[in-house]
């Protein structure tokens, strides 16, 4: 993509330097590193990177940039996949690395107030002695600001929900520099429009998140993990549906397909059966876990699955889960030199087996290798589409398959993105998924809250493409 | 309140009659009944009431009203408490009594798609044979459309969440008549702004909800209810906090204060100990319930509470819960001829005991009788402020106490409304709770989505009061 506007950053360069002193850089290398996340997209660097330490600084920055029409792109740790941190119109990247303090931990209320640069592992390490933990786990050690902005979720979402379910309140700097509190710290409220949820998943396009109040949960007394191969994907999915319907409060339910298991074995020198495999976790009181495990074994056995591997000690569980957590790298290693275009569809769980079948069929008819892994308890799965970045035809083919997978999932009443967000990569699917009216409504909201389009422009909605169909 | 504008309904009267035929009425009695909910406010009747049967009709209606600047006020069953259905500027009330079909029940996905007029009891009766149920229980047999619009919750929210946690997707008619789908039926999504949550709790001011996809849950195998008096409110609240922190998945946790228990005894001819009392419910597998009960008994005994009454058979549980459910009527009967101004504050649970103390002190210094009951697991409680509707001084005093309770709760990081909504009654507290910036943001959103201010005007935000401080 070429830049659609030249950022007039030079008009405020002196003021920025006065404001941030040695916490601003225009170094091309640093800017380049801030212009891309972990997806396969090329970097679109900002003109400058600043490192604020207070909300007030962010507010002053917004006022400056709003007046001068300079884009602002918030940046956590850069692990997003859909071009969320790209700066297609240049501008100022706001790196929250130095706003990384845990501001309060309220153990009785089971909540914590953090700055956006705090990562999920940092928070969990900070609160280790309280008996509480923060559950949302997207794999990467993402910043909580970034996870909020992209409505992230992960392996524990089937039990604890996504960021949408674990954020109580936000402080947000709006485009005009005003500082907003979206909600009180009370656990529930019916006080007007739900500004908290409007900001969660808005990807920095409506406001800049400067403080997050998150829910914490009690560390369970007992945890048991298991891996079990199934004769078919259908039977693995059936096991998941039955477990949920029977009310087993599963902590994690992850599926890896045959190819993924082959990749995992090769990468980690393991000898798992090469078959569709469920990775499961149970938690609760020791008795409750025992009961959950027994029920799950009965369900699985009825579906022809018997070969459980169990792990209850922390180190054994870590080893068992390593297979799942290393999947991305195992995938890349499966086709050396490849990059991954990672799909993220989510469908109603009753359509999940069909969706995965369709994807398998699409992959079988393609030259591209694809590995399927998923948060099957949520109906969400990823396909790692491995392509050679130096081969334009493979790149095109990966894009085509992604499109097919998305369109088939939409036809099954699903979404193009379960958890990665829209960014620039999925923008053109929004209208297809939700219709013209919903996108027009999003555009109205964007324009009313950011009339000069300075907040992370070109993400979720492209105002440059208004009036014509998005790709 | 006097009307701030004369509704030009006569300009579209012929078109409305052509559209709705015998499903429109201008009968003053019917209009008057539609101009108030269950709160103590006088009726502000609409000019007409229509009974649509399709989304298309609602869409055509919106187009007509938008062009003619005629207000539209959506109406479920009229059980809201904060003047949500009042028509201060006249206009057309849209009564959803005839849009009350369950459109789909997807048992494998554990969801249902309903029209807005379906009530929660109607839905639960419809799905009785599926082994699933819809959990949100605000007491009244409210319509699911109304519950969505007010972000309702209730006694089961500590376990199952509020409407915010139980709505998957919505169909909404916007002010210009366009029909919006807010989300797919997938369980999670990161596809753009969270339009679903923007609509939940928007009280008909941003769009008219015409279809709701709700989550269903498995009916638990075993359920046990209990009531137990505590030596003090503090100890009852401490019991609640400890139970939650220990991860007991409580199904319900309700507190009635001494005066409430006296009122309940008198109304229902019972002989409960007149002391702060917790009403509890446990559910799960029989073993899990047994374990939960044992843990809870230990916590309660440490706090000096021993006198549990238990109920496990459905009819016994109904009898036990009747005391809690009849509370509103027991309260009114406690001061015959009185009406109730019902407060709805919610605070972080660590501040709950203090908030209730402050309220008790306020009541002790007042001529008004107040009864406290609450969803203490959420930090949310109500005070029934009983006043003689024919005594203007008592009315003023009830308003004054309400204001004190709200302001004290806000100082404890709470909200003016945990679940009843803003309507017209709590509008003037919004700025105090969230600040000028947040209310300005809500106003921006309102104006961008409903530029002619036809959708339930004067609720949540008063555009007539723009530019000056709300009361």
- Return the CATH number at B343: 3.30.70.2740
Domain boundary among A268, A295, A328: A328
Q: Are residues B13 and B92 in the same domain?
A: yes
Give mean pLDDT, residues B121-125: 98
The count of domains in chain A is 3
Checking if the pLDDT of A469 tops 60, the result is: no
Closest to A345 (Cα-Cα) out of A383, A312, A390: A383
Whether A397 maps to a domain, the answer reads: no
Which pLDDT band holds residue A5 (cuts at 50, 70, 90)?
A: low
Q: Are residues A119 and A130 in the same domain?
A: yes
Interface probe for B, chosen from A131, A187, A201, A220 (most Cβ of B below 10 Å), is A187
How much of chain B exceeds pLDDT 90, in percent? Answer: 90
- The pLDDT tens digits for B282-316 are 999 999 999 999 999 999 999 999 999 999 999 99
Q: Which residue has the higher pLDDT, A101 or A466?
A: A101
Query: What average pLDDT does the structure give for chain A?
Result: 94
Q: Are residues B165 and B214 in the same domain?
A: yes
CATH assignment at residue A301: 3.30.70.2190
Position of tokens 């369900």? A299
Q: Are residues A202 and A251 in the same domain?
A: no
- The pLDDT tens digits for B141-167 are 999 999 999 999 999 999 999 999 999
For chain A, how many residues are written? 471
Minimum distance, in Å, between the CA of residue A165 and any CA atom of chain B: 8
Q: Are residues A120 and A185 in the same domain?
A: yes
> What is each CA distance from B194 to A337, A377, B198, B438, in whole angstroms?
38, 21, 6, 17
Q: Are residues B187 and B104 in the same domain?
A: yes
Q: Are residues B317 and B342 in the same domain?
A: no
- The pLDDT tens digits for A228-249 are 999 999 999 999 999 998 889 9
Q: Are residues A86 and A157 in the same domain?
A: no
What does the pLDDT read at residue A305? 97
Give mean pLDDT, residues A180-194: 97
Domain boundary among A283, A309, A328: A328
CATH assignment at residue A72: 3.30.43.10
- The pLDDT tens digits for A355-398 are 999 999 999 999 999 999 999 999 999 999 999 999 999 999 99
Whether A438 maps to a domain, the answer reads: no
What does the pLDDT read at residue B471? 32
Structure tokens at A319: 């080893």
Give mean pLDDT, residues A55-79: 97
Whether A414 and chain B come into contact, CB under 8 Å, resolves to: yes
Whether B3 maps to a domain, the answer reads: no
Size of interface A-B (CB pairs under 8 A): 291
What does the pLDDT read at residue B152? 97
Give mean pLDDT, residues A56-81: 97
Q: Are residues A93 and A105 in the same domain?
A: no
- The pLDDT tens digits for B19-61 are 999 999 999 999 999 999 998 889 999 999 999 999 999 999 9
Q: Which of residues 266-295 of B touch A (CB under 8 A)?
A: 284-285, 287-288, 291
What does the pLDDT read at residue A326? 85
Verify whether the Cβ–Cβ distance A291 to B287 is below 8 Å.
yes
Query: DSSP letter at A368?
Result: S
Verify whether the Cβ–Cβ distance A346 to B187 is below 8 Å.
yes
What does the pLDDT read at residue A236? 97
What does the pLDDT read at residue B5? 52
Checking if the pLDDT of A3 tops 50, the result is: no
> What is each CA distance from A223 to A120, A281, A323, A420, B246, in whole angstroms?
20, 7, 18, 28, 15
Verify whether the Cβ–Cβ distance B192 to A449 is below 8 Å.
no
Whether B437 and chain A come into contact, CB under 8 Å, resolves to: yes
Q: Which domain holds residue A238?
A: 222-328
Which pLDDT band holds residue B6 (cuts at 50, 70, 90)?
A: low
What does the pLDDT read at residue A471? 32
Domain boundary among B193, B218, B243: B218
Verify whether the Cβ–Cβ distance B438 to A195 is below 8 Å.
yes
Checking if the pLDDT of A1 tops 60, the result is: no
Q: Is A365 helix (H, G, I), strand (E, B) or coil?
A: coil
**Which residue in A187, A448, A449 is closest to B379 by CB distance?**
A187
Whether A211 maps to a domain, the answer reads: yes
Verify whether the Cβ–Cβ distance A193 to B191 is below 8 Å.
no
What does the pLDDT read at residue B41? 87
Give mean pLDDT, residues A341-362: 96
Closest to A282 (Cα-Cα) out of A316, A318, A310, A245: A310
Whether A343 and chain B come into contact, CB under 8 Å, resolves to: no
What does the pLDDT read at residue A6? 57
**Which residue in B109, B193, B415 is closest to A191 by CB distance?**
B415
Closest Cα in chain B to A132: B245
Chain A positions touching B183 (Cβ under 8 A) are 415, 434
- The pLDDT tens digits for B312-353 are 999 999 888 888 888 989 999 999 999 999 999 999 999 999
What does the pLDDT read at residue B464? 75
What does the pLDDT read at residue B465? 56
Closest to A244 (Cα-Cα) out of A292, A287, A310: A292
Verify whether the Cβ–Cβ distance A201 to B193 is below 8 Å.
yes
Chain A positions touching B109 (Cβ under 8 A) are 348-350
Give mean pLDDT, residues B166-195: 98
- The pLDDT tens digits for B227-277 are 999 999 999 999 999 999 888 999 999 999 999 999 999 998 999 999 999
Which pLDDT band holds residue B463 (cuts at 50, 70, 90)?
A: confident
Minimum distance, in Å, between the CA of residue B242 and any CA atom of chain A: 8
Q: Are residues B107 and B92 in the same domain?
A: no
Whether B418 maps to a domain, the answer reads: no
Q: Are residues B257 and B188 in the same domain?
A: no
Whether A412 maps to a domain, the answer reads: no
Q: Are residues B104 and B93 in the same domain?
A: no
Whether B195 and chain A come into contact, CB under 8 Å, resolves to: yes
What does the pLDDT read at residue B469? 39
CA distance linking residue B202 with residue B151, whole number of Å? 8
Whether B385 maps to a domain, the answer reads: yes
Checking if the pLDDT of B415 tops 70, the result is: yes
Whether B419 maps to a domain, the answer reads: no
Closest Cα in chain A to B377: A187
Closest to A186 (Cα-Cα) out of B374, B119, B335: B374
**Which residue in A108, A200, A461 is closest to B194 by CB distance?**
A200
Interface probe for A, chosen from B190, B198, B348 (most Cβ of A below 10 Å), is B190
Checking if the pLDDT of A304 tops 70, the result is: yes
Position of tokens 């884009």? A71
């Amino acid at each position: 993509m070429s830049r659609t506007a030249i950022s007039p950053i030079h008009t405020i360069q002196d003021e920025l330097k006065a404001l941030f002193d040695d916490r601003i850089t225009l170094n091309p290398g640093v800017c380049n590193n801030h212009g891309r996340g972990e997806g396969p997209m090329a970097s679109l660097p900002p003109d400058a990177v600043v490192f604020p330490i207070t909300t007030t600084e962010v507010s002053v920055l917004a006022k400056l940039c709003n007046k001068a029409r300079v884009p602002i792109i918030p940046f956590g740790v850069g692990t997003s996949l859909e071009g969320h941190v790209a700066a297609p119109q240049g501008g100022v990247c706001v790196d929250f690395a130095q706003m990384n303090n845990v501001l309060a931990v309220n153990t009785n209320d089971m909540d914590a107030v953090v700055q956006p640069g705090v990562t999920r592992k940092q928070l969990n390490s900070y609160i280790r002695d309280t008996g509480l933990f923060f559950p949302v786990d997207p794999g990467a050690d993402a910043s909580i600001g970034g996870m909020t902005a992209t409505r992230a979720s992960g392996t524990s979402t089937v039990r604890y929900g996504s960021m949408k379910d674990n954020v109580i309140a936000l402080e947000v700097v709006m485009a005009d520099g005003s500082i907003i509190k979206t909600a009180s710290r009370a656990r529930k409220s019916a006080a007007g429009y739900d500004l908290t949820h409007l900001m969660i998943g808005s990807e920095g396009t409506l406001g800049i998140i400067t403080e997050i109040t998150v829910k914490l949960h009690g560390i369970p007394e007992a945890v048991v993990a298991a891996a079990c191969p199934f004769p078919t994907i259908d039977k693995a999915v059936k096991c998941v549906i039955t477990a949920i319907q029977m009310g087993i409060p599963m902590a994690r339910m992850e599926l890896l397909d045959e190819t993924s298991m082959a990749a995992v074995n090769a990468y980690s020198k393991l000898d798992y059966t090469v078959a569709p495999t469920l990775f499961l976790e149970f938690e609760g009181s020791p008795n409750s876990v025992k009961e959950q495990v027994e029920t799950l074994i009965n369900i699985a056995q009825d579906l022809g699955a018997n070969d459980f591997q169990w792990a209850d000690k922390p180190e054994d569980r870590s080893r068992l889960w390593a297979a799942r957590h290393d999947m991305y790298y195992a995938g890349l290693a499966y086709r050396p030199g490849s990059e991954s275009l990672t799909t993220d569809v989510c469908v109603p769980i009753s359509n999940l087996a069909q969706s995965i079948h369709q994807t398998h069929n699409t992959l079988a008819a393609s030259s591209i290798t694809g590995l399927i892994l998923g948060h099957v308890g949520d109906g969400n799965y990823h396909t790692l589409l491995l392509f050679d970045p130096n081969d334009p035809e493979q790149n095109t083919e990966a894009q085509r398959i992604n499109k097919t997978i998305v369109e088939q999932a939409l036809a099954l009443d699903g979404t193009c993105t379960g958890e990665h967000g829209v960014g620039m990569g999925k923008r053109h699917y929004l209208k297809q998924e939700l219709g013209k009216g919903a996108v027009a409504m999003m555009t109205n909201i964007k324009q009313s809250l950011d009339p000069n389009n300075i907040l992370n422009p070109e993400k979720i909605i492209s105002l440059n493409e208004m009036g014509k169909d998005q790709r």
